[in-house]
Chains A and B, each alone.
Chain A
Amino acid sequence: MERLLVAHISEIPPLRSRTVRVGGIEVAIFKLSSGELYAVENRCPHKAGKLSEGIVCDHHVFCPLHDWKINVKDGLVQAPDEGCVRTFAVETDAVSGNVYLKIASGSLSA
């Protein structure tokens, strides 16, 4: 398990996201209104829309291309659409405010 320092908590505004490239994959890290962070692959399973640009409501993001609704906690696409986005574990260091992505070694060979 690799633990990658990707951001400081202050770099991501609430109900917004930032993107980071890890291996060959673009990851979108969302900050919910509660301050919790969740990370998903920045790619809607429908037509590869950049989820990072979607409107965030509670723990869902709406894809900006065709309004698919995706749960950022488990990556599941909400009805009436179907599918799943890859999720990544995020950890925030309460003291330093550093944000880490935790990624199983070798899982990013895209």
Chain B
Amino acid sequence: MKRRLVLVGNGMAGVNCIEHIIKLAPGKFDITIFGSEPHPNYNRILLSSVLAGDSTMKDIVINDWDWYRENHITFHAGQTVTKIDTIHKTVTSDQGVTVPYDDLILATGSLPFMLPLPGADKEGVIAFRDIKDCETMIEAAKKYKKAVVIGGGLLGLEAARGLLNLNMDVSVVHIFRHLMERQLDETASRMLQIELERQGMKFLLEKQSEQILGKKRVTGLKFKDGSMAEADLIVMAVGIRPNVALAKENGIEVNRGIVVDDFLQTNVPHVYAVGECAEHRGVAYGLVAPLYDQGDVLAKKLCGIDCAPYEGSVTSTKLKVSGVDVFSGGQFMDAPDTKSIRVQDDIDGIYKKIVIKDGKVIGAVMFGDTSDSSRIFKLIRSGEDIGGREKEVILGEGAGKSSGGSSVASMSADEIICGCNGVTKGAIVQAIQEKGLTSVDEIRACTNASRSCGGCKPLVKELLACTLGEDAVTASKEGICGCTAMSRDEVVEAIRSMHLTTGKEVMNVLGWSNPEGCSKCRPALNYYLGMVWPEEHEDERESRFVNERNHANIQHDGTYSVVPRIYGGVTSPQELRKIADVADKYNVPMVKITGGQRIDLLGVKKEDLPKMWADLDMPSGYAYAKALRTVKTCVGSTFCRFGTQDSIKMGIELEKKYERLNTPAKVKMAVSGCPRNCAESVIKDFGVVAIDGGWELYVGGNGGVKVRAADLLFKVKTEEEVIEYCGAFLQHYRETAKWNERTSEWVERVGLESIRQALDTPEKRAALVERIEKTLGLTKDPWKEIIETRELRTLFDDLPAPEAAAARES
């Protein structure tokens, strides 16, 4: 018999706890959730960004309706629990639903504190707490102009910023002299006020509200000093108080919040409380981090897993207002027994302060530049002794040296190495030591570190080296994937010398450990085979990543995005009209200009792809392929008053010439018409910059995961030379780079000089160009090919809905 677990309150704290429980002990509980709001679980912290117009309501949903269904959770949305029977162990809602429990979690959150002013019940006076408040503000902004926010704290300022975005005239009333006085010192507070005033916010400081004016709807606010402010909308954001009514009325001990012990248990057995409604060791938190800490402990406790008790949280605050970076954490005010270090830069509007006590950082305030906040907050929490390096802490280690600069050895175990997958240094070191890992690939397979964007790979490598010692790492041999110990060069050499022409052959002959390879080596082999034997090797679609198989980019929801080829970024009214018509016809939810100056049609259903391509009647833009993506151009001499050469023409020629060519990784190009370099050619794989009387050719640039400025390879005089060198360069890259290796990594690996040498004589270039021409001669536009080939086209459709064959047959 499953235990019956009931959660009262469908907010962030309670549902987070449930998420933990589902992971820790799937199937152990029959779970029921009650929520007063008629919505699935959403991220309340992001309400301000909904109000600011940066997100929609849909964006801030954490768990949608499907999640409840999939996890077999009974969810009573829009029902408020009004009674708890702790004797018979049941709860009852306002709609008369009664549910028995074995364990009960109260996560009733908090209520906005409404000032008991005369007139507070008028229309147009609201709090800023839930989706409904947010909607009220958005509605009010359509009809009214003047808004007053009472409260100059975190919540008030976020609400005010949102109202500014809604084009309202916003005044913030604050009873104190300084904004966010609970999080900021005077200096930071002043700087914040100046910045917000610059954004258009008005402030009425040291004003105590006395009365809300108006007949039915609010018209203004009167202060104790007799002055007044006009208002069509008043938002009270003066604080919150734990929502304890339910607990209190049903005999559960309540102080300011529901009193809980270190395992979140109330005075009643099997009744727990987490989040803003709970009071632990005299503290009721109103921030998100503690709620998660609490949820984590409670989940373990309920699942019967040993864990350390919850001992309270050190909190920090960040203001979520666009254009303003504010951070504060710990005890940031000066006291007789503390010392502090401050950095104040009025020119750039930067202020940082750390407060030190007994050689430890106990608090910090930052304004303008909060990039160090997580590092410093970690110091606050860890209580590490920083005696002797106080200045390093605030100025950063090895100031002036490349960004970050933190050596992996000095990182603490809980610091995150892989940001995509949240893998800490400790987890990696533990895996290396316990499982005897000796390569980055093994670490990836075991811990997920470096699995997504790969940006942390150098750090992982460094960590491996410093955990095992340099020798142990270099001694171990890394194959192209887990299926073989052979390197890229060995595999390509075998393909050439043994004349292997299919992936299956390679894997059989070279003794792959997995008979059919893996998602890493199969696409790689397909590329190498096509590069070595362009005519004989038949492209293996089943070894291509989905984007290259479906010739569009897969998106997280299973839809695709389609980018038609627009050579050099130059289009025409007819072409635009056609694209617009197609977007209309297929209800494309978003049309976007891409980073490479092309038009992206996002959110297309797979089955619509072939029809759309046919209607567009344009070539594929290859925005999904390991191939030439785009050639970005500036306006150049065609229109620009500085342009020295025709960059548009050059770009179009390059794009037409080299489109569809398979390359080891994606290739981006750009042509700039003058050294002002508006097309950003020096962060491209192949960049061309026009100079007076010639062209500069840059290679190995990257503006992506690891930014790298391109190297100047050659200077040439004519347009023909640009095309020739480009072809020779691309072919040399195709022949010597590893699959998935961007030119930026490749240039660093093989060295710029070796590339120069491969291209430095007309004979060498001619040989390379001949080989690339042969390959180019074999390319076909994939969109056209699919439209014209019925078997390929049908693969985009679902199979027809099944018939009940059994009935028909028997």
Confirm or deny: A76 has a beta carbon within 8 angstroms of a beta carbon on chain B. Answer: no
CB distance from B303 to the nearest CB of A (A): 16
What chain B residues lie within 8 Å of A7 (beta carbons)?
A: 799
State in angstroms the CA–CA spacing of A64 and B517 once bound together.
16
**Could you say which of A5, A15, A57, A65 contacts B514, with CB atoms under 8 Å apart?**
A57
**B448 and A55 form a contact (CB under 8 A):** no
Cβ of B225 within 8 Å of any chain A Cβ, yes or no, is no
Say if the beta carbon of B409 comes within 8 Å of chain A.
no
Does any Cβ of A come within 8 Å of B445's Cβ? yes
Chain B residues positioned under 8 Å from A53 (CB to CB): 546, 549-550, 554
Which residues of A sit under 8 angstroms from B584, Cβ to Cβ? none
Partner of A100, one of B514, B518, B557, B805: B805
Shortest B67–chain A CB gap in Å is 10
- Chain A residues contacting B519 (CB-CB under 8 Å) are 54-55, 57, 62, 67, 69
Question: Which chain B positions have C-beta within 8 A of A106?
Answer: none
Beta-carbon nearest neighbor of B69 in chain A: A110
Which residues of chain B in 428-465 are interfacial with respect to chain A, using CB atoms and an 8 Å cutoff?
445-448, 451-452
Of B522, B794, B799, B803, the residue contacting A55 (CB under 8 A) is B522
Residue of A whose beta carbon sits closest to that of B431: A80
Chain B residue nearest to A10 (CB atoms) is B791
CB pair A54 B799 closer than 8 Å: no
User: B794's closest neighbor in chain A, by CB?
Assistant: A11
- With A47-B556, A57-B518, A65-B554 already in contact, the answer to whether A4 and B802 are too (CB < 8 A) is yes
Query: Could you tell me the distance between the alpha carbons of A80 and B304 in the complex, rounded to whole angstroms?
Result: 24
What's the Cα separation between A47 and B558 when bound, in Å?
A: 10
Minimum Cβ distance to chain A for residue B27 (Å): 12
* Cβ contact within 8 Å between A5 and B550: no
Per the 8 Å Cβ criterion, residues 84-110 of A in contact with B are 98, 100-101, 110
Q: What distance in Å separates the Cβ of A96 from its nearest Cβ neighbour in chain B?
A: 10
Note all chain A residues with C-beta closer than 8 A to B308.
none
Task: Return the CB mask of B507-549 against A: 1 if under 8 Å, else 0.
Answer: 0000000111111001100000000000000000111111001
Of B448, B517, B546, the contact of A80 (CB 8 Å cutoff): B448
Cβ-neighbour of B802 out of A22, A57, A65, A66 (below 8 A): A22
With A11-B799, A14-B542, A20-B802 in contact, do A55 and B523 touch (Cβ < 8 Å)?
A: yes
B799 A19 Cβ-Cβ under 8 A? yes
Cβ contact within 8 Å between B804 and A64? no
By beta carbon, the residue of chain A nearest B420 is: A66
A98 and B543 form a contact (CB under 8 A): no
Q: Is the CB of A13 within 8 A of B542?
A: yes
Q: Given the complex of chains A and B, what is the CA–CA distance between A24 and B630 in angstroms? A: 41
Whether B523 pairs with A80 at a CB distance below 8 angstroms is no
Chain B positions within 8 Å of A62 at CB level: 518-519
Inter-subunit contact B542/A15 (CB<8 Å):
yes
Q: Which residues B296-344 have CB closer than 8 A to chain A?
A: none
| Residue among B448, B452, B546, B554 with max Cβ neighbours from chain A (10 Å) | B546
What B residues does A110 contact at CB under 8 A?
69
The interface residues of chain B lying within 8 Å CB-to-CB of A101 are 802
Using known A-B contacts A4-B803, A18-B795, A20-B799, determine if residue A58 contacts B514 with beta carbons closer than 8 Å.
yes
A50 lies within 8 A of chain B by Cβ: yes
Q: Give complex CA distance A1, B589 in Å.
A: 41
B447 A98 Cβ-Cβ under 8 A: no
Contacts of B557 in A (CB 8 A): 48
> What residues on B are CB-neighbors of A69 within 8 Å?
518-519
What separation, in Å, do the CA atoms of A15 and B504 have in the docked complex? Answer: 12
Residue B798 lies at the interface, judged by CB distance under 8 Å to chain A = yes
Most buried by A among B452, B514, B542: B542
Tell whether, in the assembled complex, residue B546 and residue A54 are in contact, meaning their CB atoms are under 8 Å apart: yes
Looking at the assembled complex, report how far the CB atom of A45 sits from the nearest CB atom of chain B, in whole angstroms: 9
A67–B798 alpha-carbon span in the complex (Å):
23
Q: Which residue of chain B has its CB nearest to the CB of A99? A: B799
Nearest chain B CB to A57 CB, angstrom units: 4
**Complex-state Cα separation, A81 to B522, whole angstroms:** 21
Q: Are B803 and A5 in contact (CB under 8 A)?
A: yes
Residues of B within 8 A of A2 (CB): 804, 806
Contacts of B803 in A (CB 8 A): 4-5
Q: Which residue of B lies closest to A7 (CB)?
A: B799
State which residues 1-51 of A face B: CB under 8 Å.
Answer: 2-7, 11, 13-16, 18-22, 29, 33, 47-50
Among B515, B523, B545: residue with most chain A CB under 10 A:
B545
Task: Enumerate 14 A-B pairs (CB-CB under 8 Å) in ascending A order.
Answer: A4-B804, A5-B804, A13-B795, A19-B798, A21-B801, A33-B516, A48-B557, A55-B523, A57-B519, A66-B452, A67-B451, A80-B446, A80-B448, A98-B805
Q: A-contacting residues of B (Cβ < 8 Å)?
A: 69, 445-448, 451-452, 514-519, 522-523, 541-546, 549-550, 554, 556-558, 794-795, 798-806
Closest 6 CB pairs of A and B: A5-B805, A62-B519, A4-B802, A15-B542, A3-B806, A53-B546
